[in-house]
Amino acid sequence: MDDPMQADLLYGLEAIGRAIGLGPRQVQYLHEKEDFPTFKLGRTVCARRSSLAQHFAEGESAARLKADEDVRRQPGADAGRRNRIHNRELGHETRMGESRRSAFKRQGR
């Protein structure tokens, strides 16, 4: 069987690009910017799948928080979206077309 550490390692620009859906040159550019979780083994650029997944998850959550914050600041923003964000933060998830009372019943509150 393969070693789990070996399975997590992406060796080379092509392998990293295939894993994240980019070309080798795009991966090289991200590596050179130094804000991408890559490292070098000798002269070869490498990355770990787990590090890449964590990097993209952190970026996604930061973008979602920024988008939610931008909606709150806009005076003429969609009130429904502001309310959905607020309810999600409170744990009051409602389904499409469902009233809050129905949601509370479904959630057992």
Residue 71 pLDDT > 90: no
pLDDT in tens, 76-85: 556 666 677 7
* Non-local CB neighbours of 2 within 8 Å, separated by 6+ positions: none
Mean of all residue pLDDT scores within the chain: 79
pLDDT tier, 104 (very low <50, low <70, confident <90, very high otherwise): low
Q: Where are the domains of the chain?
A: 4-54, 64-107
pTM over 0.75: no
